[in-house]
Amino acid sequence: MHRDLLTDRLTFDELGWRGLWAYITKAPPGTAIYQHRTEGWALSDKLSAELLDDMRELLWRYGAVHFQDYAKTTQFPIRIDYPGAPKGPQVIDAKSWESVTLDEMVSPEVRALLQA
């Protein structure tokens, strides 16, 4: 933080407590504070990782639906681990069309609506 303040030619006394809070919470990319708070992952990096994870999952699901034995021979993709990502199981036992039942695919709320 000292390096960032020196780079911006600021001191603690000039900022005050409120200014220091704003300086830390809204630190621009490329500063040491930003690097420490985000662990090197910018927002665009996190969004790209999420998009890549979703595309890999959709590709796996497409293969499981359209190709015989794809779900048995190909492991469900593991999500990219990045700072701030929700921690979940690394290996997911995804169901294929041959092994899933209707009760597993439809939530109880939706089933109740369909029966009404």
Domain that holds residue 90: 41-116
d(CA 96, CA 74): 11
Give the pair of three-digit tokens for residue 34. Answer: 């930003």
Number of domains making up the chain = 2
Residue range 18-63, pLDDT digits in tens? 777 777 777 777 777 777 777 777 778 888 888 998 999 999 988 8
Mean pLDDT for 8-13 is 75
**Domain match, 4 and 52 both:** no
**Domain match, 68 and 18 both:** no
d(CA 82, CA 38): 10
**Domain match, 30 and 66 both:** no
**Domain match, 110 and 66 both:** yes
Q: What is the mean pLDDT of the chain?
A: 77
Looking at residue 55, what is its pLDDT?
A: 93
Cα 63–69–70 angle (5° rounding)? 30
CB 3 within 8 A of CB 12: no
Cβ burial of 96 (10 Å; 0-12, 13-18, 19+) is middle
Give me Rg for the CA atoms of the chain. 23
pTM of the model: 0.49
**Is it the case that residue 70 has pLDDT exceeding 90?**
no
**Domain match, 21 and 45 both:** no
**Domain match, 59 and 110 both:** yes
* 3-state DSSP helix/strand/coil % of the chain, to nearest 5: 60, 0, 40
**Domain match, 77 and 100 both:** yes
**Domain match, 62 and 5 both:** no
